[in-house]
Amino acid sequence: MNKLKTASQIVAQLQDGMTIGIGGWGPRRKPMALIREILRSDLKDLTIVSYGGADVGMLCAAGKVKKVIFAFVSLDFIPLEPFFRKAREQGQIDVMEIDEGMLLLGLRAAAWGCPYIPTQVGLGTDVIINNPDLKVIDSPYDDKEWVAMPALKLDAALVHVDRADERGVCRIAAPDHHMDDWFVRAASSAYVTCDELVTSEHFVPAEVSRQVFWERSLTTAVCHIPGGAHPSSCAPFYGIDNSHFLAYNKYAKDGGFTAYSEQFINGKTEQEYQAMFGGIDAIRQIPHTSY
Amino acid sequence: MTATSYSLAELMICVAATAFEHDGEVLATGIGVIPRLGASLAMSTTNPDLMMTDSEAYLLSEPNPIGTRSDDFVQRNETWMGFSRIFDNVWSRKRHAMIGPTQIDRFGQSNISALGSDYNQPKIQMLGVRGLPGNSISHANSFFVPNHSTRVFVEGECDVVCSIGFNPERMPKGYNNDDIDIRLVITDICVMDWQGPNNTLRLVSVHPGVSVDEVIEKTGFAVHIEANTPTTAAPTTEQLALIATFDPHNLRAKQLKDNPPGIRPVAS
């Protein structure tokens, strides 16, 4: 089955009001080309589930978001995501703020078809106060109370991988595939962008197929966009574009997201966007961070 | 041999190392340069059973030096430890995290999420609760405070309670204080723990040149003070040499404003 689609064909599958999960982690391996395509679309009222970075900041700033389900939104070396911060401080968005592990459990519950997964995480904190819909329940097996972390069912998952074939076999060779497999499993449809489109032969070596974290039956569509995670990283190909994130951060103080969008997104193709950074060859020279 | 000259950051690193000394075989996670160097120092001296990650996706047999490393450096991987597996470790309880919260209250609750009284429109949106709810109810946690003040040690409760503490009003059904494991609080002026009466904050030692009164003044709630508060032990020259190998770019000098000396000069 050939699942190749363009970014605009993928975004055309998304609808107003959908719950959309976004893979990656903070400034790492975010499907930013798809985010930019959403920013060029009329989509609105989205509920976003993410280990958030600029994906969440940009979507909030552009007024695409009704609600964010998150544990953090951060660019790491710039700890506070500037546009998410603005949206929160102006009271523009609804939130469900939960622990990082709870978010994982919510995705797992959705993937496994469970209404919830019991956990002690969140007890004694404002997570259970600020989320009145989050139920604390008794256990049939002990005398403690437990947080019933509800399934986070996604209408769509958007993830970026380093390699995929046209049938939707996806490899993540980066040191960490983060929770991308759980986003894909929690979603009715999973849309993948890849830095390299490969033939199925690519996956034959065991050490490569070991880096495939979900079955192709879960991949709805594949879009080949080299550099599609920029300005986030996509190891082993390129690191986080720190200098671009610093510039992005400046727009929050001066010019706002409209100015950023006019400069980098609105009316621009992905090629035109990349050309502003010297093209894909220059993006692939962005060094990896040493922690 | 006891060092005669050391920075405050180095003193705090050595104190941070003591937090992990008796932990046995657990994952030590120090968020930030000083906590991470503390864990690295402990793993290389007092507690070789500790485990640390590369702050990305692998568990290491030896701590990595911080920052850019030479091209021929080979980190000592021992297993994959991506983020999903970190939670398996957290929920197995075999971990001790040391983080620097923006607010800490008298119950040992902490906040890194947001500041202000209106949750729906915070005055300052910070990181979000991150992993604090899970860390605090699953394993040992210590706090690192580079700027001991009443802004950090708040008079009331934290604006957003991200981690469970010893607050009777919030104690979940089936839990008591013994289920909560909050260890050291290491600040730029002193060391404290939560072993005061009913798990209140207790002064353990003051850094060289700091008075007990200063600690009281800079803490927004009562600190339990025992007679004859000792002075925080100075680093040894061996410790300073090890710290330098784990921090070859001297990032520790940039962690505290103006990189003050460990022994506070007498005011003239």
Task: Give the length of chain B.
Answer: 268
Report whether pLDDT(B52) > 70.
Answer: yes
Segment B97-112 mean pLDDT: 98
What's the pLDDT band for B268 if we cut at 50, 70, 90? low
Segment B83-101 mean pLDDT: 98
Query: How far apart (Å, rounded) are the C-alpha atoms in residues B242 and B245?
Result: 5
Q: Which domain holds residue A89?
A: 7-99+152-281
Non-local (6+) Cβ contacts of B241 within 8 A are: none
Q: Domain limits of chain B?
A: 8-69+76-254
- Chain A contact for B125 (CB, 8 A cutoff): yes
Mean pLDDT of chain B: 97
User: What CA–CA distances, in Å, run from B164 to A70, A186, B99, B241?
Assistant: 19, 29, 14, 37
Q: Which residue of B has its CA nearest to A84?
A: B125
**What is the phi-psi region of residue A220: left when phi exceeds 0, alpha when psi lies from -120 to 50, beta otherwise?**
alpha
- CA A212 centroid distance within chain: 18
Closest CB from A80, A125, A176 relative to B163: A125
User: Contact B137/A178, CB-based, under 8 Å?
Assistant: no
What SS3 class is residue A105? Answer: helix
Q: In this structure, is residue A161 part of a structural domain?
A: yes
Nearest CA distance, A12 vs chain B (angstrom): 31
- Chain A contact for B30 (CB, 8 A cutoff): no
- Chain A contact for B249 (CB, 8 A cutoff): no
- Chain A contact for B74 (CB, 8 A cutoff): no
- The amino acid present at B193, given as its one-letter code, is D
Query: How far apart (Å, rounded) are the C-alpha atoms in residues B103 and B100?
Result: 9
Nearest CA distance, B71 vs chain A (angstrom): 11
Segment B78-93 mean pLDDT: 98
Q: What is the pLDDT of residue B250?
A: 98
Query: How far apart (Å, rounded) are the C-alpha atoms in residues A52 and A67?
Result: 13
The DSSP secondary-structure symbol of A282 reads H
CB atoms under 10 Å from CB of B191, counted, come to: 24
Q: Over its length of 291 residues, how does chain A's per-residue pLDDT go in tens digits? A: 999 999 999 999 999 999 999 999 999 999 999 999 999 999 999 999 999 999 999 999 999 999 999 999 999 999 999 999 999 999 999 999 999 999 999 999 999 999 999 999 999 999 999 999 999 999 999 999 999 999 999 999 999 999 999 999 999 999 999 999 999 999 999 999 999 999 999 999 999 999 999 999 999 999 999 999 999 999 999 999 999 999 999 999 999 999 999 999 999 999 999 999 999 999 999 999 988
Closest CB from A25, A84, A89 relative to B83: A25
User: Contact A120/B172, CB-based, under 8 Å?
Assistant: yes
Residue B99 backbone phi and psi in degrees, to 5: -130, 165
pLDDT cut 70: percent of chain B above it: 99
Predicted structure pTM score: 0.97
User: What CA–CA distances, in Å, run from A149 to A119, A123, A138, B52, B187?
Assistant: 7, 11, 13, 29, 35
Q: What is the pLDDT of residue B64?
A: 97
What SS3 class is residue A179? Answer: coil
CB atoms under 10 Å from CB of B201, counted, come to: 24
- CA B105 centroid distance within chain: 15
Indicate the number of domains in chain A.
1
Q: In this structure, is residue A256 part of a structural domain?
A: yes
Is the Cβ–Cβ distance between B18 and B252 less than 8 Å? no
Q: Which residue of B has its CA nearest to A107?
A: B84
| Tens-digit pLDDT profile for residues B125-171 | 999 999 999 999 999 999 999 999 999 999 999 999 999 999 999 99
R_g over Cα of chain A: 19
H, E, C per residue of chain B = CECCCCEHHHHHHHHHHHHCCCCCCCEEEECCHHHHHHHHHHHHCCCCCCEEECCCCEEECCCCCCCCCCCCCCCCEEEECCHHHHHHHHHCCCEEEEECCCEECCCCCEECCEECCCCCCCCEECCCCCCHHHHHHHCEEEEEECCCCCCCECCCCCCCCCCCCCCHHHCCCCCCHHHCCEEEEEECCEEEECCCCCCCCEEEEECCCCCHHHHHHCCCCCCECCCCCCECCCCEHHHHHHHHHHCCCCHHHHCCCCCCECCCCCCC
Report whether pLDDT(B267) > 90.
Answer: no
User: Contact B134/A177, CB-based, under 8 Å?
Assistant: no
Structural tokens at position B20: 């992990």
Q: In this structure, is residue A291 part of a structural domain?
A: no
Residue A104 backbone phi and psi in degrees, to 5: -60, -45
Cα–Cα nearest to B101, from B64, B65, B141 = B141
Is the Cβ–Cβ distance between B261 and B8 less than 8 Å? yes
Is the Cβ–Cβ distance between B203 and B210 less than 8 Å? no
- The amino acid present at A5, given as its one-letter code, is K
R_g over Cα of chain B: 18
DSSP codes, A34-76: HHHHHHTS---SEEEEEEESHHHHHHHHTT-EEEEEEEEE--S
User: Taking every pair of C-alpha atoms in chain B, what is the biggest distance, in angstroms?
Assistant: 56
Closest CB from B125, B132, B172 relative to A89: B125
Q: What is the CATH number for A31?
A: 3.40.1080.10
CB atoms under 10 Å from CB of A211, counted, come to: 17
User: Taking every pair of C-alpha atoms in chain A, what is the biggest distance, in angstroms?
Assistant: 61
Pairing of strands A187-197, A221-224: parallel
What's the pLDDT band for B266 if we cut at 50, 70, 90? confident
CATH number given to B8-69+76-254 = 3.40.1080.10
Nearest CA distance, B209 vs chain A (angstrom): 33
Closest CB from A73, A124, A136 relative to B171: A124
Is the Cβ–Cβ distance between A147 and A123 less than 8 Å? yes
Is the Cβ–Cβ distance between B17 and B214 less than 8 Å? no
